[in-house]
Amino acid sequence: MKKLTLISLLFLTSITLFSQKTLPMDSVIKRDEGIFYYCIIDSLLIKKYNSYNIEKAIIFINETAVDTVNLSRRRYFPVSIKENIYFNSFMESKELNDKFYYSKSNKEFEFYNCQFFSDYLQTQFFISEGVFLYIINPITCEKLEFANFSKHVEKETINGKTIPLGEIHDVNFINNQKAIIELCLLGENDCEGSKYFIVDSKSIHDKTNNIKPSEFDPKKHQDYYSDIQFMDKTSKKIRESVKISGWHGRDDLLINRLFDENLTLLGKALVLNQPFIAGINIQNDNVVNYFLGSSLNDRTKVVIPYKFNTELEIVMYKVYNDILLKTYELKSLEKLELGILRNLIFAKYNYDFTTEFYQAYFNLFEFYSSIDKRNTRTKNVNDKLTEIDKANIALIKEIEK
């Protein structure tokens, strides 16, 4: 394969390595104008900027420009699995040398031609074609069938050819051999509903009833749309958002929920305000944290690290809803997470934080980020604290010692 000539091996071996240790989880990063993504992969800080003046996107590695590629509004991050980091994998074919990968072991760039996708955990390379899901070799483009959903959709015969009325819409791998799949059911108006499945060792399990929210009422002519927001590879837990929509916006409801790897409901979570995933931090092939776009109270756009932790999400929901915490529920939380939990008690009364991290963190959530809330921040919330609030604060402080 042709080597990428814009970067020399000498440059790649002489750059200053970026260390995750220099970026604490309470960091607040000002979001530069035009930035498209912000990723850390091992010792490499990778950023992409869209420049509409030159109609190109510029990719930087450790603050040095390495290439320009065609503009795209699709926000697909570099894909890192094992030894290689793949850029622009979603493109159908190589266009003006846009598709290239970086070998972490050889410290060289090469071109490739395959089109493929990867989930947020970057566990597997795949591509879907109608109701078929394939695992793909990103170098040779060889495809291996992973799942076939033909038996799970209605069919239509046109000119003697039977066509399955379905299309794979979303794919999230839990591990190399297990995935959660959303299947779009096709009709006169394109997608007219979805089914949800777990594929495990060639077996397909319909989990649609697990996903259907209890608040959903078909008598109100409602639809619902589920979206997996984050997954934790270690605990195999899932954070999901489901939107229930009625006619003309009536009876609309947004709910965030927590599931295990088998899509068993664990409980509800505080609603994130349409999280903008600006990047990802991968160390040794494991997702350490995401980077979410947020803002300060003065509207300054920022990026902050976000680590999905089911235990934290559960107790945050309890604290917000004035439920008394137990000591055992806090034992596994880190110091920063305890600080977030304690300050959530003040945030739910619209406290005006001085610390930029707490401004940015709580502005991720629907309850804190509305325009009305932003315009009515206050320092005077002590008289609003309930007895349960006070007891929870005291317990958290005791654990923090």
Residue 26 tokens read as 């309470």
Residue 59 tokens read as 């990719």
- 132-136, strands of its sheet edge to edge: 117-118, 125-129, 132-136, 143-148
pLDDT digits (tens, 9 = 90+) for 38-61: 999 988 899 988 877 777 788 888
Distance, CA of 78 to CA of 341 (rounded, Å): 32
* 3-state helix, strand and coil shares in percent for the chain, rounded to the nearest 5: 20, 40, 40
92 or 137, which is more confident: 137
Give the DSSP letter of residue 197. Answer: E
Give the three-state DSSP class for 347. Answer: helix
Among 235-249, 269-283, 331-345, name the one with the lowest average pLDDT.
Answer: 235-249
- As a whole number, the mean pLDDT across the chain is 87
pLDDT of residue 73: 60
* Position 14 pLDDT exceeds 60: no
pLDDT of residue 1: 37
What mean pLDDT is predicted for residues 172-200? 89
pLDDT confidence bin for 350, thresholds 50/70/90: very high
* Position 382 pLDDT exceeds 90: yes
Crossing angle of helices 310-320 and 335-347, in 10° steps, is 20
pLDDT of residue 113: 85
pLDDT digits (tens, 9 = 90+) for 359-376: 999 999 999 998 899 999
pLDDT of residue 16: 47
pLDDT of residue 12: 40
What mean pLDDT is predicted for residues 333-344? 97
CA distances from 167 to 135, 162, 248 (A): 16, 15, 26
Strands 125-129 and 117-118: antiparallel
pLDDT of residue 2: 39
CA distances from 99 to 2, 58, 76, 121, 141 (A): 12, 13, 13, 21, 13
pLDDT of residue 401: 85
Domain map of the chain by residue range? Answer: 1-115+277-308, 126-206, 212-274, 311-401
pLDDT of residue 251: 67
pTM of the model: 0.88
pLDDT of residue 9: 33
What mean pLDDT is predicted for residues 333-354? 97
Strands 276-283 and 35-41: parallel
pLDDT of residue 336: 97
28 or 8, which is more confident: 28
Distance, CA of 91 to CA of 114 (rounded, Å): 8
239 or 102, which is more confident: 239
